[in-house]
Amino acid sequence: MPPPPAFTRYASQKINPVSIGQLLKYRRQPLSKENILDSISYTQAELPVRLAKRVISFHRLPFIVGTNPHIARVYNQYYEAFDRLHAFAPINDLEPEWDFTRALERQTQILADVIPTIAQGFLECQLYMPREERTAFINDLIRSRIGLRVIGEQHVALSYQFREEQRKAKLAQDSDQSVRTNTSPHSREDVWVGAIHTRLLPARMMEQCGQMVQSMCEMHYGTAPSYYVDGDVDETISYIPSHFEYITCELLKNALRATVDFSSSTNRSSHPPIQITITKGDGYVGVRIRDQGGGISKENMRNIFEYSWSSMQTDSSDEHSSAAGTSPTGSSMMAGMSMQTNLALQQGVGGPIAGLGFGLPMARLYAGYFGGSLDIVSMEGYGCDVFLKLRSIEGSVEDRQI
């Protein structure tokens, strides 16, 4: 059945990209009513176009793939998201803007499980669609999803930020004080522009992510390696914290899991620590994660960035592999979990310690979205060095469009 005319009409429109510079143009405090209405004008016009294009892309899938219940569920989520946001009349005042913002916030939460759901769908449909076409569809879906979330979450954050500033201004006026009384140089007002943190400390983020992943590893395996952060620990970057968290948690999950697996299979008495090194460059920050988890075989290196590939899915491999796969020991430890449970646990960064082959390719897409990169160097039988390079959103990629 063809999509309704409204979808076709919106999908035929060109995407109107927004530059990083435009996202940061409201950084001068305080935010004004005009700023918020300017932001909502773009958000309200752009999101339905991007959502409609996603709906049309699902209609182009082979029939047997599109009718898969998991893929159909994601299709319906995009369809309903378009319907909800498209229903709003053009906004020119703060009251309807707040209604739209709350609807947009709820819609973002509803779409949070798109990736694990689509992952299961394509795992079940591998025989019905060539790998290259699956990869192209998933890449487009993920890139589109990142853009939708950045635009949507940026406006939601700006809207909340504006109202918080208004609340503080009223309190200050009532108490006859300046709005900025006792405001530190690094208060929220100074470092946040919507969802973008302009003075993010990668070392602190790595500590937080390390603690989270270490707890996950202990929960699943009963043990976990230690880790430490060194290098340029005081370096800051302008970035979206949730993106940084997703990428680094995926990389740390692989490093800790591989280390535990390799210790078990080689009867190593203790786990070597994970080394996390922060380096600074011209307009970027580098993160190297070094593990001693046995490395990745040459055969597996060809597959680690393929969607739906994971050595967790096979019991036949005798290879030890860090950064992307796991050993047979790890597979047996996870065997009690159903695929549905694995997928359900992967909806956020708090997912399982081993996945279904979407972690690394998605992490590389996220890293590259703002001009960064993700590379892996493996020494088979020893371990891996993972090199993450993240461009600062502010300045060096100001002209980059999303």
Residue 180 phi, psi dihedral angles, 5° rounding: -100, 15
> Between residues 83 and 177, which one has the greater pLDDT?
83
Q: Residues 314-347: pLDDT tens digits?
A: 433 333 345 444 333 333 333 333 333 333 334 4
Q: Residues 271-326: pLDDT tens digits?
A: 999 999 999 988 899 999 999 999 999 888 988 888 866 544 443 333 334 544 43
Tell me, rounded to whole angstroms, the distance of Cα 73 from its chain centroid.
Answer: 21
Q: Tell me, what's the pLDDT at 113?
A: 79
**DSSP state for residue 335 in the 8-state scheme:** T
Residue 183 phi, psi dihedral angles, 5° rounding: -85, 125
Rg (CA), the chain: 23
Give Cβ neighbours of residue 310 (< 8 Å, ≥ 6 apart). 324, 325, 326, 354, 355, 356, 357
Where, residue-wise, is CATH 3.30.565.10 in the chain? 196-391
CATH number assigned to the domain with residue range 196-391, chosen from the 4 options 3.40.718.10, 3.30.565.10, 3.40.50.2300, 3.40.50.2000: 3.30.565.10
Buried b (16+ CB within 10 A) or exposed e, 311-330: bbeeeebebbbbbbbbbbbb
5-184 in CATH: which number? 1.20.140.20
Buried b (16+ CB within 10 A) or exposed e, 108-142: eeebebbbbbbbbbbbebeeebeeeebbebbeebb
Residue 229 phi, psi dihedral angles, 5° rounding: -115, 130
d(CA 60, CA 44): 26
pTM greater than 0.85: no
Where, residue-wise, is CATH 1.20.140.20 in the chain? 5-184
Residue 389 phi, psi dihedral angles, 5° rounding: -120, 120
Tell me, rounded to whole angstroms, the distance of Cα 185 from its chain centroid.
Answer: 29
Give the pair of three-digit tokens for residue 51.
């959502």
Q: Tell me, what's the pLDDT at 325?
A: 45
